[in-house]
Amino acid sequence: MKNILLLSEHYAPKISGTVAYVKQLLAVLPDDNLQLYFLCPVQGDVGEMKAFFDAEQKVTFLQLGVNQNEPPQYTAAERNVLCDFVKTELPTLTRKYNIDIVHLLYGFFLAEIVDTTFLGTNKIKSLFTVHNIPPEECSISWSGDLFWRKWKDDVRKLGVGWINRRRLKKQRFDTYIVPSEQVKQQVLSILPSSTVVVTPHGGAELITAPQKRGVVKGEKIKILTVGGVIPHKRQDWIPEIASFLKKEGLDFEWNIVGPKRNQNYAQYVAKQIEKKEVGAVVNLLGAVTPDQLKKIYVESQLYIQLSREEGFCMTVLDAVAYGLPVMATPVGAIPEMLEKVNGVLLDPYIENIKKVVLHYVTIHDNLYVSDAQLAAFKDEYNWTETANKLLKAYRS
């Protein structure tokens, strides 16, 4: 029996890909050979921890109060409560629960203060899941923004990059878990001698595609892009690409779905739609309910992702799982995913993207995912397979 202490800076009620990663692993990791303890930041008396065993999940939640008056928003103050607790109480927790393995599922602030020297001295294995390395995926500004705001953000990101490289070097975990080959190379560029294991995310098995779909000759092409409306997703490129396709006589509709996480950027995207006169074919829908999102995926014929940065890219995984052909830029785990379904990798230059998209939607018969490809994709990109790879890392 292995006793494993899991840590994360984020958990419910926060909604994010990292929280989904934690929740899904808690659902599939437990077995007869493991006892899981999850130090979970919750609403409660600040700094006080209460143990709760969930018999259904087979996980002991070590509930640490970080906010007494309302559900955690995971502010800096709440994160400081968690970090201070781990810094002082980690030795006590490892002794009390006879911990064999400590796995940090998310968080660079925790990564800086988890004492890996203490863990190693006490023969406790340490792992850290690195989803990406900031300043990846944390841009506030974009190339079309006001000059001074773009300059200020570029300077900020230089500082963010330096700080997080320093945090990564502060402690040395036995194993680093990453979601893609891209993040593996980023970690190795900072920590060359480290053991880095790629365990792609799951979730494809949770989606049932009603039928094989793709671009059909003679029908309006329904294009979809999903993700928070933020600069690194590059939704601001869509109006210009759509304008080009419209001038070429293509009959299409392009839906952009996702919460407007950066209001200035969302307004800029909306202005670009108006400026390029594509409001009749491009819909900036914003956030939708899960049922609405499923309906949009099912009714779409083509998925396009234009991201500049990704650690993995769950929306591409979702699109493939729904049976959609995908065209996307080569970031995160997108190259590995698209290789399995003959997806189209887009050169990250807008002028080239315009021509490539037009070329492939004109060919038509090359844009679909076969039943065999979809089945193989779901076999690999599922949470049970993720857990199996993680268990191998625990045992190594």
Give 6-58 pLDDT, tens digit per residue: 999 999 888 788 889 999 999 999 888 899 999 999 999 999 999 999 999 99
Residue 385: CB partners within 8 Å, gap ≥ 6?
200, 202, 379
Q: What is the pLDDT of residue 160?
A: 95
Residues in the chain: 396
- pTM of the predicted protein model: 0.93
- Over residues 331-342, the mean pLDDT reads 96
Pair of tokens at residue 33: 């050979």
Look up residue 22 and give its amino acid. Answer: V
In the block, tokens 């900072």 appear at 190
In the block, tokens 């070429």 appear at 248
* pLDDT tens string 64-83: 999 999 999 899 999 999 99
> How many helices (H) and strands (E) in the chain?
14, 14
* SS3 at position 53: strand
Domains and CATH numbers, the chain: 2-202+382-395 (3.40.50.2000), 205-380 (3.40.50.2000)
Instruction: Identify the CA nearest to 255 among candidates 217, 287, 216.
Output: 287
**Angstrom distance (rounded) from CA 396 to CA 387:** 14
**Angstrom distance (rounded) from CA 9 to CA 41:** 7
- Over residues 230-243, the mean pLDDT reads 98
* pLDDT tens string 130-187: 999 999 999 999 999 999 999 999 999 999 999 999 999 999 999 999 999 999 999 9
